[in-house]
Amino acid sequence: MTSSEAPNRPRPVRAGAGEPVEVRMTVNGTPVTVHVPARVTLADVLRDQLGLTGTHVGCEHGVCGMCTVLVDGEAARACLLFAVQLDQAEVVTVEGLGRPDELHPLQESFGRNHALQCGFCTPGFLMSSYDLLTHQPGVREQDLPQELSGVICRCTGYRNIVTAVREAQQAHPGGIPAPGNCARRALAGRGTGRSVVDEEPTGAPAEQSAAKAEIVLPEGEPTIAVDVATEVGVGQDQVWAVFDDVHRLARCLPGAELTEELGEDYYAGRARVSVGPIKLAFKGVAHIAEHDRAARRMRVLAQGRDTGGAQTQADILLRTEPAAEGGTRLHAEAKVYLTGRIAQFGRALAGDVSRHMFEQFAAAVSETATTGDAPQGRVKAPGAFRLLLRSLLGRLRRRSR
């Protein structure tokens, strides 16, 4: 048997709990490669890595059917499949079913019969219906409710859904048309803004390419907007002596470490954040987009990715102005975009975490500006207990004012 005749079988892989594994799939006709730990589900890869948010996640136990997709032509629950199980698999999501300007007959029928309800279960019903009419084109009308019972509509709009499926079946008695939106295209990860489509093989490690990627921030409102200020007991020139030295500046960032200079004011690094059971280790890149010592402004764009698929991007503006008694008032305005596990943080908690980390950063800058030496060792990111305690105290103080 030649290699070209070998069947597509998942290759055996031995990897640690957090160690990324390369997975190659074809998603909606586009070959993609992702690097994820073995614990990451197909649903998380589709939504967080590839930006295909049409696959909805409901119960995450395989009961509600919201996350139904096609894997090698068969309906499957994306929340019950680990991505590493799908090496070389062909996946079709609801985005691949039809184009905006030419919907699939099932999509047209759902719209025509008011079968969309709130819309959350619609992707699951569409993919389940497609699978049903593909494998059982002659399914009896009276059997449709039971055949479609694998997807739950919390709006209880089943009558219109069954009518829509029945109408599509009658319009195509010989079999429902194939998905009409499967072709090679760019699938942009939401957190990186860069294509994860397999290009022509270059032999370059994926991590190296990621470090050099241009930082493109998402459009729309950020997940968190932080606007904080604090005073440090040293003059502006001393503060900017720290800002002018990227290595000393990086040493002041809680949990962060500068690992490589990429040129043209781009820097690679890593950072650790821990809040309760959620422990994140980011690798990413930062770009100093503006460094105006005269205007006392510095703007930094940053993005990072955790091995579990969590992603963060930020647009940070640092400003200084003179404060009383020769000190410096340090301002930080940040727009932060989160996806993946880190987005599980509530906005209030995430805002508190960001503020406390800024206070740590300001204290480290003050110490460095005063002594001339960067902090010994990395500034540790705040622990879960300390964050929780400080958040509670901070809110109590604000309410008492």
Domains located in the chain, CATH noted: 18-182 (3.10.20.30), 224-383 (3.30.530.20)
pLDDT at 185: 61
pLDDT at 269: 81
pLDDT at 247: 84
- With residue 25 as reference, give the H or E element that holds it: strand 21-27
- With residue 210 as reference, give the H or E element that holds it: helix 206-211
pLDDT at 313: 80
Per-10-residue mean pLDDT for the chain, 401 residues long? Answer: 45 74 89 86 89 88 94 95 92 90 93 93 96 95 95 93 96 92 62 44 42 65 78 84 84 79 81 64 82 90 72 84 83 78 57 73 80 64 54 54 55
The closest alpha carbon to 34, from 47, 359, 172, 327, belongs to 47
- Predicted structure pTM score: 0.52
pLDDT at 388: 54
Name the token pair of 257.
């470490």
pLDDT at 75: 96
Between β-strands 256-263 and 21-27, what pairing exists: parallel, antiparallel or unpaired? unpaired
pLDDT at 2: 34
pLDDT at 335: 84
Chain centre distance of CA 159: 36
Report residue 372: phi and psi, to 5°.
Answer: 85, -5
